Structure formats: C-alpha cells, structure tokens
Amino acid sequence: MKTELSFANLAGIETELLAVFAVDTQTEKGPEAKPQPELLTADEAVRSAAANVLASGEYKAGANETLLLHAPAGLAAKRLLVVGLGKKGKLASPAVRNAAGTAVRFAKPRGIRELVLALPDIAEYEARSARAVTEGAILGDYDSDTYRSDRKDLSIHSFVLVAPSTTDKAAVEAAFAEGVIIGESQNFTRTLVNEPGNKLTPTILGQRAAEMAETVGLGWQIHSTEKLNELKMGAFAAVAQGSEEPPALIVLRYEPDGVTEGPVLGLVGKGITFDTGGISIKPSEKMELMKYDMAGGAAMLGAMRAIALLKPKVRVISIVCAAENMPDGKAYKPGDVVTAMSGKTIDVINTDAEGRLVLADGLTYAKQLGATHLIDAATLTGAIGVALGIWNAGAFSNDDETFAKFQSALATTGEKFWRMPLGEEYADQIKSDIADIKNTGGRHAGASTAAEFLHAFAEDTPWIHLDIAGLAWIEDSKPYIAKGPSGVAVRSILEWVRSY
C-alpha cells in the first residue's frame, strides 16, 4: 500500500472514495434520546453533502457503522463514506484505529483501490489520531488468503490521509510516519504467524528474521543445535529433539549510536513453528492452528523491526527460540528430567507444555547477554483464554515499576492486557518430587503456574510475561480486521521499550 499525508482541501480531492468520521454527540439517556451524528470535519462542502441523510435519523454513527453516498454533491470524490466512532464522550485511539480499518475493509471487496481518509478534526487529538488512523488503515488492508490459487488482488493501492491545514503539521507528519512503521511491522508479524508449518520451519523463520534485520539495520545471529548444546540449553534442545527440523536460536541486537549506559531490554519470544503437543499429543480438532504457536516470537520480530526504524535511545536484545514440537522416536517424554541452561532441573509432566521450556532457556540467555529488564511473549496456555476470553491477553510481572511502564503504554496502543497474579501458592503447585521444578501444575490456575515457571528463570530481574494465546488468532472477521493472525503485542512491546 502506498501511503501519503496531505493537507489539501477535502472537497477538491479527486478520488474513488473519500472517507470521513462521525460521532454521536447525544448526551442524554433514556428511550426518548435519539443519536445525533456529527461529522468530524470542518469542511463545509463535506458536511453539506451528508447533511440530509444525517438528519434523517437512519444513520447513528455507532462504532464502525458505515454510510455510503454516491456522487456526493459539491465534492470531487466519486463516493463519500461516513464511518462511525460511537459516542463522542468515549472517543479514544482504539475507536479511531478500528474505524480506519473499517473504511479500508469496506473499500476492498468493492473494487476500490484508492482511499482518501479525513483526519478527525479535533485539535487536541490530531497527532494521536494521525498515528491511529494510519495503523488502522494498514492493518485493515491485510488478508490471510496467501496460498489461494484464485486469489485476487483486493488490496488498497493508495491510501492518503488528509489533515486540516490548520493543524500542527510537524506533529501530524511525525505521527503519520510512526503509524506507517508500526502498522507495517505488525503486518510483518501477522504474515509470519499466518505461514503454514511446512513453509515456515524454524530454519526459515531464522532466515526471515535475518532478512528483516539486514533491511532495517539490526545486528543478528542465527544459531542451531550445536549452539544449544554449547550453551547447555537442555530445555530448549529437549523440545526440538523430536523433529527432523533443526531448531533456530534467533538473536537480534539494536544498539543506538551513543548509548553505552543505562538499561538493556531483553525481548524473548516463543517460536514453536508447529506444535503437535509431542508425546502428549493434542486432539486433532483445530490442531492445524498450531502453526500460530510462534506468535510470541513473531511479535518480538515485529517489535524489533519497528524499534530499528523508530530508533529509541535504549539498547535492546531479542531472543526467539524456534523449534517444532513433534512426537517421533527421539522425542522427549513425560517423566523425563531435563537440565535448563540455568542449571535448574525440570520434571517433564506434559510435553505439550513446551513453550515454557524454550522460554526458560531464552530468558536465561538474554540475561547472560546483558539484559537488565525482560519481557517475554508467548501463546503459552489455553488457561488464559478460559480466564480472560478473547477480549484481554494476560500479563504477569515480578516488578510493579516495570509493569507500570507497560500499563502506561496500553493507553497509546489500545491493546488490552489484564494483569494476573503470581505468588508462592502457584510456585508450590510446580514443585517436583524428583527435580527442581515441574513443567505443569495441574488443572487449576494454569496461566499463573506457567508464569511462575518462567519466573523461576527470570528470577529477580525485572520481568513481564505476556500470555497472548487467547488473542493471537482472530476466529471471525471483524469490520476493521480480517480473520486470522492479529499481531497482538507488537505495539505494546514497542511502547514499553520506548518508555525507557
């Protein structure tokens, strides 16, 4: 998608589709209260073109509600699309981001290849809106039908964001540029997550990471079995040993010019490119979706792409532990005891609890490489979806100050994470009779016991764990985003890094 920022007059822009936002300004409540939609543009020609239909009451400006007008009077555009943001008093970045995605996804199946979108005319909100609109439009353009032989090009070829000429142009330009980088980085993650396991083996994931790193200027190293053995990564190696495909230890480095002191942030991702469950094999129903078990690692790669391009003044290391979890004659078994890189021994209760094993060694290695603060992301447990549904991802932390920075980032990113508990009670559930720790704690509090397992390897290093299993894959298309990989956590990890 070609992206452009303009400060031209809306009424005079010749385009296939001009989209504007509307809010419901009604503040009264009760059965007699009727929506009062209002366009968020000062352009009188645009307001006049939509005045009659808005006054009719048939359009309410609900969130992502659309209204299409053909040959709007007084405008050079062939069509005018109005997209609702909901109640004016509840206006925030997520609503704007989603509405921009809705405009793009409205246009795509109708054969419209160019879209001009008017930035909401709210002075105190323009820069934030510019970033959110741009992110939303780019995210809305992604579809997951990569391998369909009859795939048609339904993408938006040209997207133009038009800001009022009275705006703070420098601030809007900067926000627009950020939005392009972040939206494209999240789509980079989504593209990786969407790949089938036979097309994205651990080795190929390493190659894709290296190609991205070369393009944006990150340092990189890709290792495999020999390095895992050298580092004594017994937990990671155990997961990988059941597959014909070798593992990949992906290491990316971002070192900004002139920064030699201060924190070093460690981003650690689970990169299980396909998860059968191993010897503790999963049910066959929906096992095909286990290609997305590397979504945490992909989120780290997308975040690193954005970090490299946005250039925050903080050093960052990323570790992605990529492997297949397969059940062959060499596979690790329930009852095995493996020794992690840290020296801790792990009693394997369930080979389908493999993500925490690779992350254990990833967290230890990040600390060895100098990380002073850690964040990991993983599609780690089904339990988090049971607890929080598909509306929030889980977040855990051993340090309130570190987590406060992440919590503050969510106001910018609009992603929903809910802090879940850690504690000695959960740690007790994973004490082993035969080893230092066991890799599952039973049926109860599965997300918290999994987090406590990782806590044992993060130790006292300030650390955040993101369990994104419930949100990494969108089961049904929404007006603003396609069914399939979501790219969740990329924006929030990025903003957490930038907070330093």
Nearest CA among 360, 326, 328 for reference residue 439: 360
Range 91-96, long-range pairs (CB < 8 A, 24+ positions): 91/23, 91/122, 91/125, 92/414, 93/128, 93/129, 93/131, 93/132, 93/412, 93/413, 93/414, 94/132, 94/414, 95/63, 96/21, 96/120, 96/129, 96/132, 96/133, 96/136
> What's the angle, vertex CA 323, arms to CA 322 and CA 324, rounded to 5?
145
CB 499 within 8 A of CB 412: no
Active site members: 282, 356
In this structure, what DSSP letter does residue 217 have? T
Residues in the chain: 500
* Rounded distance between C-alpha atoms, residue 201 and residue 63, angstroms: 40
Per-residue tokens: 62: 């609900």
DSSP per-residue codes, 415-471: --EEE----HHHHHHT--SSSSEES---STTHHHHHHHHHHHHHTTS-EEEEE-TTT
Q: Which two tokens stand for residue 458?
A: 């993060």
End-to-end CA distance of the chain: 32
Structure tokens given for 372:
């002073």
Residue showing tokens 């809007």: 172
Separation between Cα atoms, residue 333 and residue 349, nearest integer Å: 8
* Residues 60 and 49: beta-carbon distance below 8 Å: no
- Residues 106 and 140: their CA atoms lie apart, in Å, by 9
User: For 113, phi and psi rounded to 5 degrees?
Assistant: -110, -5
Nearest to 333 by CA among 280, 260, 262: 280
